[in-house]
Amino acid sequence: MALYNALAEAVRQGKQVQVENGALDASGLLVITTDFATIDSVQATVEKATAPTTSQLTFSVSGSTVTIRGWKATATADTALIASDALEDVSVVIVGRRRN
């Protein structure tokens, strides 16, 4: 029953889901443009069957554009994060609200 209520509430509030995938560029960025008026949440994961070079993903939102940033450790002995230069595939799920 809880799932039904959650779906009904999503419809009432005008929420939609956008699913994307793409590759991080050489500077560790993936930019996604949406048609949403507001963005409620973003989930992203590296698509790889083996250990990825990119160890952390973060995101930022500017208007209706989501920017995913990939990060990796500087070196084995230095775990400070720097921008990933791995051209790894990323799956992204964005939940937002429609424009009226």
Residue 32: name the closest of 51, 43, 87 by CA: 43
pTM of the model: 0.82
Helices and strands: H and E segment counts in the chain: 1, 7
Tell me the per-residue pLDDT of 3-50, one tens digit each, with 9 for 90 and over: 566 667 667 777 888 999 999 999 999 999 999 999 999 999 999 878
pLDDT at 36: 93
Element (H, E) at 75: none
The DSSP letter of residue 26 is: T
With 70 as the cut, is the pLDDT of residue 100 above it? no
Give me the chain's average pLDDT, please. 88
With beta carbons less than 8 A apart as the criterion, state whether 85 and 22 touch: no
